Amino acid sequence: MGFIEEIQRRRTFAIVSHPDAGKTTLTEKLLLFGGAIHVAGAVKSNKIKKTTVSDFMEIEKQRGISVSTSVMGFEYNKYKVNILDTPGHQDFAEDTYRTLSAVDSVIIVVDAAKGVETQTEKLSNVCRMRKTPTIFFINKLDREGLDPFVLIDEIEKKLNIICIPVTWPLGMGKNFRGVYQLHTDKLYLFEGEEKQRVQEPIVIKNLNQNGLASLVGEVLANKLIEEVELIRNVFPTFNRQDYLQGNIAPVFFGSALNNFGVKELLETFLEIAPSPGTSIANERLVNPEEQKFTGFVFKIHANLHPQFRARIAFIKVCSGVFRRNIPYLHVRSGKLFKFSNPTSFMASKQSVIDEAYPGDIVGVHDTGNFKIGDTLTEGEVLHFKGIPSFSPELFRYVENADPARYKQLAKGLEQLTDEGVAQLFTHKMNGRKIIGTVGALQFDVIQFRLEHEYSALCRYEALPLYKACWFRSNNTKQIEEFKKRKANFLAEDKYGRDVYLADSAFSLQMAKENFPDIEFFFTSEFN
């Protein structure tokens, strides 16, 4: 298969949602229907003992939530599929936003009973801003929820996007019997209680054929015929170009837990979703069909395998072919690196690969050389845009709770904060370590992972601060005066850069007014 054909058959997408909408369960069922796994697990279930593939970290298994983006790749029919399952909780939003910079399209999962929730709205706005092609999967139709027309109306009004139903539910809750595919005029009826294995649906090719009422009941049959007629009169016809430009969003209905509507979602998505597109660098646009390799690091996972202390940098291939044992320029350091064991992923499981194409996600072993946002090329100096980093707003002093484990604690803090979901500072006055995050749950995750992955114990002490910001100026006199007056609120980040820990919005505003020649930055990526 040729280079262009390899690019065109790739589908790299993220699955995002508000917490508990069923995002990880949908990921699991896409893997199941794609043949990547044979038995699906569940996030939280008394009956299903197998845990999900994507929630492989111990804290994810215990709490039933995703705390880190998982990367999963598999082959399905003629396509190479790369799924990125993201955290839904707002405390891990930074990881999710960065993941959106590495995908070509998005599936947003909506709970049929709850409709559009806060995090759904925020994530959808990011997709709209980037003009990322978006599909909605309205989940949990096996439970009583809002009317499908009400759900679509809510999505259109709250998220400011035109929705086009592609599938439509037959019934809801206990009466949920399957989904009707509008563009093929096929009704898929589901039978049986088996939730973890792929089942073949009963296919009815025409709603008007005899026997529909005998299968689903006269009330459901008549209701479906009326609703399908209404949809075809009210909603515009699906246009793939409008979808690719982010102007419309196809909508699918189903129940991920019960396998309802998932195969229809997968097969239609693979047909209409975009192959890898152009990436934006500060210097120029990068086309995936360019012959020379370029890529960027969008995620770092410390301690992916605790027994090996493996730290992995995740690289999104933007153009050309990434090849094993070929030296590539690490733009930030100016050094050449080659990788003897680059890997593809099925969550925590890795397979060594010889090459990867645009759209693929490659994992490389990292001994501390990489930062999120770093670029790798065949020699050209490029800096890819759109990889966000946020200023922390919550702070804690971190103390060693086991003096005999000082080295383990120091190493754990260093590696975990390299992942980019928390930042590590050292207070200049007292030398104490400070962790800054954008969400309170991150403190629990760090404490848990320190104990279970590094055998280190820590405790926290509250530190009431407003925001951390980096600063610089060509006015040496003002910098010296600022440091003198703000000595109690100065820290150093892990790269040795000065940071101002503002205790209030008023203090920060006064600092800006009193020291007009000093620039303040709310992201560490200001160089």
Query: Mean pLDDT, to the nearest integer, of 233-245?
Result: 91
Position 111 scores a pLDDT of 94
Q: Inform me whether the pLDDT recorded for 293 exceeds 90.
A: yes
CA dihedral 364, 330, 277, 23 (to 10 degrees): 40
Q: What is the residue whose two structure tokens read 């990881």?
A: 95
Q: Inform me whether the pLDDT recorded for 311 exceeds 90.
A: no
User: For residue 14, what are the β-bridge partners?
Assistant: 84, 106
- Architecture of the 394-521 domain: 2-Layer Sandwich (3.30)
Considering the four listed CATH numbers 1.10.10.10, 3.40.50.300, 3.30.450.40, 1.10.3370.10, the one that applies to the domain covering 12-70+91-272 is 3.40.50.300
Confidence of residue 54 (pLDDT cuts 50, 70, 90): very low
Range name among 197-206, 397-406, 491-500 with the lowest pLDDT average: 197-206
Q: Inform me whether the pLDDT recorded for 306 exceeds 70.
A: no
DSSP 384: B
Do the domains 279-377 and 394-521 sit in the same CATH topology, yes or no? no
Residues with Cβ within 8 Å of 150's Cβ and at least 6 positions away in sequence, in order, are 115
Q: Inform me whether the pLDDT recorded for 332 exceeds 80.
A: yes
Query: Mean pLDDT, to the nearest integer, of 331-347?
Result: 85
Position 209 scores a pLDDT of 63
- In this structure, the number of other CB atoms found within 10 A of the CB of residue 222 comes to 13
Structure tokens at 76: 């399905």
Q: What is the residue whose two structure tokens read 């997968």?
A: 266
User: For residue 330, what are the β-bridge partners?
Assistant: 335, 376
Task: Give percent of the chain above pLDDT 70.
Answer: 85
Angle at 65 between CA 59 and CA 71, to 5 degrees: 85
Interatomic CA distance for residues 502 and 465, integer angstroms: 6
Q: What is the residue whose two structure tokens read 């919005």?
A: 505
Domain range annotation of the chain? 12-70+91-272, 279-377, 394-521
Q: What are the pLDDT digits (tens) for 380-394?
A: 999 998 776 667 888
Q: Inform me whether the pLDDT recorded for 272 exceeds 70.
A: yes
- CB 18 within 8 Å of CB 118: yes
Range name among 101-115, 194-208, 397-411, 486-500 with the lowest pLDDT average: 194-208
Residue, of 208 and 198, whose pLDDT is higher: 208
Q: Which among 161, 104, 117, 101 has a CA at the least distance from the CA of 23?
A: 117
Q: What are the pLDDT digits (tens) for 416-452?
A: 888 777 889 999 989 999 998 877 888 888 888 888 8
- In this structure, the number of other CB atoms found within 10 A of the CB of residue 38 comes to 10
Q: Inform me whether the pLDDT recorded for 522 exceeds 60.
A: yes
Half-sphere exposure of residue 177: CA atoms within 13 angstroms, side-chain side: 19
Q: Which among 273, 438, 416, 350 has a CA at the least distance from the CA of 70?
A: 350
Structure tokens at 465: 């601060």
Query: Mean pLDDT, to the nearest integer, of 394-410?
Result: 91
Q: Which among 427, 403, 411, 416 has a CA at the least distance from the CA of 491?
A: 427
Query: Mean pLDDT, to the nearest integer, of 75-93?
Result: 75
Q: Inform me whether the pLDDT recorded for 204 exceeds 70.
A: yes
Confidence of residue 179 (pLDDT cuts 50, 70, 90): confident
Helices (H), strands (E): how many in the chain? 14, 31
Q: What are the pLDDT digits (tens) for 277-289?
A: 999 999 999 999 9
One-letter amino acid at 302 equals A
Class of domain 279-377: alpha beta
Position 20 scores a pLDDT of 84
Q: Inform me whether the pLDDT recorded for 526 exceeds 70.
A: no
Find the helix packing angle between 262-272 and 23-33, rounded to 10°.
Answer: 80
Q: Inform me whether the pLDDT recorded for 343 exceeds 60.
A: yes
**DSSP states of 470-512 as a string?**
EEE-S-HHHHHHHHHHTGGGEEEETTS-EEEEESSHHHHHHHH
Q: Inform me whether the pLDDT recorded for 46 exceeds 50.
A: no
Interatomic CA distance for residues 23 and 136, integer angstroms: 11
Position 441 scores a pLDDT of 81
Top-confidence range, 190-199, 496-505, 518-527: 496-505
**DSSP states of 306-357 as a string?**
TTTT--EEEEEEEES-EETT--EEETTTTEEE--SS-EEEETTEEEE-SEE-
Structure tokens at 18: 């508000």
Structure tokens at 134: 């978006």
Q: What are the pLDDT digits (tens) for 109-160?
A: 999 999 998 888 888 888 888 889 999 999 999 899 999 999 999 999 999 9
Confidence of residue 57 (pLDDT cuts 50, 70, 90): very low
Confidence of residue 193 (pLDDT cuts 50, 70, 90): low
Q: Which among 345, 446, 331 has a CA at the least distance from the CA of 395?
A: 446
